Amino acid sequence: MKIKIFTFFAMLLCAAIHGQNVDVSGTVTEASSGQPLPGVNILVKNTTKGASTDFDGNFTLNEVPLNSVIVISYIGFITQEITIKNADPLRIVLQDDAQSLNEVVVIGYGTQTKKEVTGAVSVLDSESIEKLNPVRIEQAIQGQIAGVNITSASGSPGSGLNIRIRGITTNGNNAPLILVDGNRISDLSVLNPSDIKSINVLKDATAGIYGVQAANGVILITTKSGGKNTGLKFQLDSYSGIQFTSRKMDLMNARDFAIYVNDAANATEFFVYPNSGTDWQDEVFESAPISNVSLNVTGGSEKSAYSAGISYLNQDGIVGGSKNNFERLTARLNYQYDILSNLKLTANGLHTLSEKQNLAEGGIGAVLYNAVNINPTMPVFNPNDDPLLDFDNYALANDISQIEIVNPVAQINDTYNTTRVARWSGVLGLEYKFLNHFTATSRFQGNHANVRDDIFRPEVYYGGGKSLNTVNSFAALSDDVIFNEVVDFGADFTDFLFDNFLTYENTFNGKHHLTALVGMTFSREKGRFYGDVGRTNMGTNELGQSIYDEGMERQPRFTEADLENGFDWFDSRLFSTFFRVQYDFKGKYLFSFLMRRDLSSRFSSENNNNVGYFPSGSIGWNMSDEDFMQNISWIDNLKLRASYGIIGNDRIGPLFGSITRLDGQATIDNGFDELLFGLSPGTPGNPDLKWEEQETANIGLDLRLFNSKVSITTDYYRKQTKDLLLNPQASALIGVGAPGTGFSFVNAGTVRNTGLEFAIGYSDNIGEDFKFNINFNMTTIDNEVVSLNGRTAPVGGEYGVGLGITDITRMVPGLPLGYYHGYKTNGIFQTQAEIDALDAASPNGTYLDSSIGEAAPGDLRFVDVNGDGEITPEDRTNIGDPIPDATFGLNIGFSYKNFDFSANAFASVGQEMVRNYERKDLYANRGTYMLNRWQGTGTSNSVPRAVAGANINTDQFSDFYVEDASFLRLQNVQIGYTFGEKFNSSVGVDKFRIYLSGNNLFTLTDYFGFDPSANSGAPLGGGIDNGFYPVAASCLLGINLNF
């Protein structure tokens, strides 16, 4: 009986235990695209029970005990653990693991896992890009990758950005090589950021596989692709919002301006009762809409995979609104097809149409230059409606001789300037695998772009003596015959690249892993430029817009004498061969060596100057795999690596600097209504020209700690470029100059960059609902011109609007490339006695050289740098440079249940900018810093007196105009909410997220100008601020929808 009772209760217990088991099912998708992930491992923790997802990302686990933990893992994604509390279906979203040792890194003509990489390579994934909502891809890189700095010459919609990898190392082109799915793309504005899967940046000798185009680093962009055996999936991303200026200058109001002018004019009361005035910055800046929508489609069959996308961006300018609009339409298709089990076809295509409305920027004639300098007592519109005092009712900047300053609101109204770009890009490739270890790849890649600039200039009169006037008086505007000017400019660019390479990969005895690559490539770039300038006497100014919109149809209206034609072209070719060997032993000891030979048409074949050989090598040691490291449980991976190589650069100087070109053009009227067109020799050629060579070395460390929660990467780099192309202002052929000629280019300079990169990241899951990550990176840069081989120092840059001082930046050994060359100051002269004492002590009886001018109390005191007792041009010295000492990036993100938050900031420290947007004219407005000007003994020792005309304070370049441009900017902050499975199922979607984002919301800086981050990108003069268009701040509302 007891045995029966025991058996009965045992059966009840088993039934109860069995009742606590459930069948677990669900779907696993990728976070960035929402696509299902096949082959994901699902394992009940501490057991052997498991399953894998099918082609649709679905899985089922039977008889899983309640409260047990399942582990979801997949190569390249962050492993998740979920506690089973009920039988509800699971919807699991895996995040890309940018820190995974098994993550695939694109290195050029191949891939490696992160653990195998021996070079300085950084990766940015699609999730990081999408959180930033960048209009351009470059904006997503800033602050995310150590060693990469992004600047712009303009914040205008559609304007390009400058990418610099580890600083500037040449006085030529410093832009990196950019490849999108293997295809060269020079203008990233043609791409929709939502199409990007990953960005890989090669920063050291590993870039040498791309030869003479890789000296400035390489950016490899991979676009999204579909997966085989996956259903049709859609991803819709859209945002809309408002933009506004991130910064305004603190300028004088009407009252302060009147007091200043009266003071400068020695108490002559030009402005006795100034009106309330006009804030011209408020008149030209405005809130501007921006919107973007993109749709991506992915899918695949057993043999094929495809991804297609279309996007549309519409962005008005914060200056001029629709008169500064940018529109972009992109269409993309990626397709892969397995012709045979070992033969794969790849076809990628991209088409982009863009249209940009342009306003004048930078220096005299620019809208912001006029807004900053125009008299603030002047109204926007003429209050009396007197046609003799206005044009289209706009008030004139004609009072009291405002030289070259016009009404900026009227200027915006009269501007009709459009640039249209149509671009086609494509890649067609075959990949054939044979004999188990060989892969042969052949790819043809090409790009074609057509650029059209259409400009209509109506007859305008802004006041006496303005260069923007198209007529000389109001009387001319009332003539019966109206001559409106029309400009048509066009350019066509075509390039193609033909790659063929063979890869061998094998592992011997389970220990020796070898990958060998050999290949060749041929590329060609060509382009032509053409244009027509003429006048039309059809219509009136009121019809100007309709005339402008007619495009090419207006050309027949021109007479032969009204037309001036221009034409130019280029054509260059490059043939290269290369090989690379990569070897590792047990994954611990890593070795790589490559050699590339380039043959370039840019240089003469004499002495084989057009041929170059460029070797590179790297080594690595995964120290954490050693036996003596196995007991250190908190170190997951420790790798030491080093690289060294020589990389060429042929993107320097003139396209055909080795030959003398007939590029001097002129068109004249012979007096019989006939145009005569002629050519003359330009810059003399130098057949001894060759490419620059960059010697680059790198030592790095990769460290992962505490179950990969902490990742650290640090690199020390040294880049030295020799044989820089210089254009010295003296020549053995023509002396110091000759009519109609320039100066021959020569290889002479050497520039060195050294620095340290450091990046640290931490990510963790706190419980099941809270996830947190933080990443910080920094880069230091030390730039120095090493030598010029005895050549005259190149100069560049211009200071003083309208003054024409053109040698304020220089390239001199021992100093940074492009440093500012001017006078140091040491306060303000307070009394005439100070000046007289210096004159008396001067060897020539005059402290200031006659070429500089005369000083008076209230003027800047220049420093006698060379100590000869007087101030001469030889006392000019280094007063700053535009190269930052260090840059920093900080990125923070966390999510709690369905909410997510992210923020990123960027800082740049140690660079200086030249304040060069101020008109040196009595009646031009000034910054409020002039309120603290010298107005008598002891009143100021930093800001000089007000002056009415030419003066040493305004006509000599000094550190008074050089400012610290260090800044900290909050680039992006975003908060989002992702709806749960129940809501998604009810509306038939896989993922639905809404978010609110703010970009460039604040900038901390002491710089007075619009944008401390701006730079023209020029090695000489890049930091001279002629009135950079500020970067726009924005607030956006957006959605991410997968279905």
> 301 vs 31, 38, 306, 429, CA distance in Å?
22, 13, 9, 20
Is the pLDDT confidence value at 614 over 80?
A: yes
pLDDT at 108: 84
Is the pLDDT confidence value at 611 over 80?
A: yes
Q: Hey, what's the torsion of the CAs at 936, 941, 942, 947, to 10 degrees?
A: 30
User: Residues 6 or more apart from 658 whose CB is under 8 A from it?
Assistant: 602, 603, 604, 609, 685, 686, 687, 688, 689
Model confidence pLDDT, tens digit, residues 926-985: 999 999 999 999 999 999 999 887 789 888 999 999 999 999 999 999 999 999 888 888
**Alpha-carbon distance 890 to 904, whole Å?**
5
Q: Are 137 and 201 in contact (CB under 8 A)?
A: no
pLDDT at 424: 94
Phi (first) and psi of residue 215, to 5 degrees: -65, -25
Looking at mean pLDDT, say which of 763-767, 872-876, 921-925 comes out highest: 872-876
Characterize the bridge pairing of strands 899-909 and 912-915.
unpaired
Residue-by-residue DSSP string for 396-457: PTTTT--TT---HHHHHHT-EEEEEEEEEEEEEEEEEEETTTEEEEEEEEEEEEEEEEEEEE
Nearest to 871 by CA among 882, 855, 886, 883: 855
Is the pLDDT confidence value at 593 over 90?
A: yes
pLDDT tier at 556, thresholds 50, 70, 90:
very low
Q: If you average pLDDT over residues 682-711, what whole number do you get?
A: 86
Is the pLDDT confidence value at 500 over 50?
A: yes
Helix %, strand %, coil % for the chain, to 5?
A: 15, 50, 40
pLDDT at 99: 54
Model confidence pLDDT, tens digit, residues 814-837: 999 999 999 999 999 999 999 999
Q: If you average pLDDT over residues 227-234, what whole number do you get?
A: 84
Q: Are 593 and 616 in contact (CB under 8 A)?
A: yes
Residue 352 burial (CB < 10 Å; 0-12/13-18/19+)? buried
pLDDT at 6: 45
- Which string of b and e fits 317-334 if b means at least 16 CB within 10 Å? bbbbbebbbbbbebebbb
pLDDT at 396: 64
Q: Residue 832: what residue type?
A: Q
Rounded to two decimals, the pTM is 0.84
pLDDT tier at 410, thresholds 50, 70, 90:
confident
The full set of domains in the chain, from first to last, is 2-94 (2.60.40.1120)
Model confidence pLDDT, tens digit, residues 170-219: 887 888 999 998 888 888 888 888 888 889 999 999 899 998 888 899 99
**Alpha-carbon distance 865 to 867, whole Å?**
6
Is the pLDDT confidence value at 542 over 60?
A: no
Region of poorest pLDDT, from 116-125, 221-230, 750-759, 894-903: 221-230
Is the pLDDT confidence value at 77 over 60?
A: yes
Region of poorest pLDDT, from 87-101, 155-169, 205-219, 635-649: 87-101
Report percent pLDDT > 90 for the chain: 46
User: Residues 6 or more apart from 568 whose CB is under 8 A from it?
Assistant: 528, 529, 663
Region of poorest pLDDT, from 225-239, 341-355, 748-762, 967-981: 225-239
Q: If you average pLDDT over residues 459-471, what whole number do you get?
A: 75
Q: If you average pLDDT over residues 57-71, what whole number do you get?
A: 87
> 802 vs 329, 352, 805, CA distance in Å?
40, 40, 9
Model confidence pLDDT, tens digit, residues 26-53: 888 877 666 778 778 888 888 878 888 8
**Alpha-carbon distance 706 to 331, whole Å?**
44
How does DSSP classify residue 194? G
pLDDT tier at 474, thresholds 50, 70, 90:
low
Q: Which residue has the higher pLDDT, 519 or 57?
A: 519
pLDDT tier at 515, thresholds 50, 70, 90:
very high
The residue with tokens 């080093």 is 642
Q: Are 824 and 861 in contact (CB under 8 A)?
A: no
Q: If you average pLDDT over residues 727-755, what whole number do you get?
A: 66
Model confidence pLDDT, tens digit, residues 648-694: 888 776 566 666 666 665 566 556 555 565 666 666 777 778 888 89
pLDDT tier at 545, thresholds 50, 70, 90:
very low
Q: If you average pLDDT over residues 270-285, what whole number do you get?
A: 82
pLDDT at 563: 42
pLDDT at 56: 72
Tokens (6 digits) for 181: 């799915």
Q: How much is the mean pLDDT over the chain? A: 84
